[in-house]
Amino acid sequence: MKWTIQFYAGVERDILSMPPKIQARMIRLLEMIEMHGANLGEPHTKPIGAGLFEIRAKAKEGIGRGIFCYMDNQAVTVLHAFVKKDQKIPKKELKLALDRLREVKQS
């Protein structure tokens, strides 16, 4: 059965505005999630806690990250996407994803 990927408002636009090679890698990883499920394992996906998981898209231009959560019936929602500059996920990016997680789980 194929997985469904949903995007929080504006996240698709964020992915499409990433540098070309990061964007291509992110889209390829999302296609893999559709075909095989969200648990691709490291280095592609990784749990980050509190019900959040990250997609890791690495390219010469930098490192793209997508933060997603599981929904019902083999679906995931990508809550946030950004290009990160440091090793750790910045606190403001994580807080934004957590706020969006609470919002999508309530609706």
* In contact, 84 and 65? CB cutoff 8 Å: yes
Tell me the pTM.
0.91
Say how far apart CA 86 and CA 105 lie, in whole Å.
29
pLDDT digits (tens, 9 = 90+) for 3-53: 999 999 999 999 999 999 999 999 999 999 999 988 888 889 999 989 999
Residue 52's CATH number: 3.30.2310.20
Domain count, the chain: 1
What's the domain range around 92?
Answer: 4-106
Amino acid at 5: I
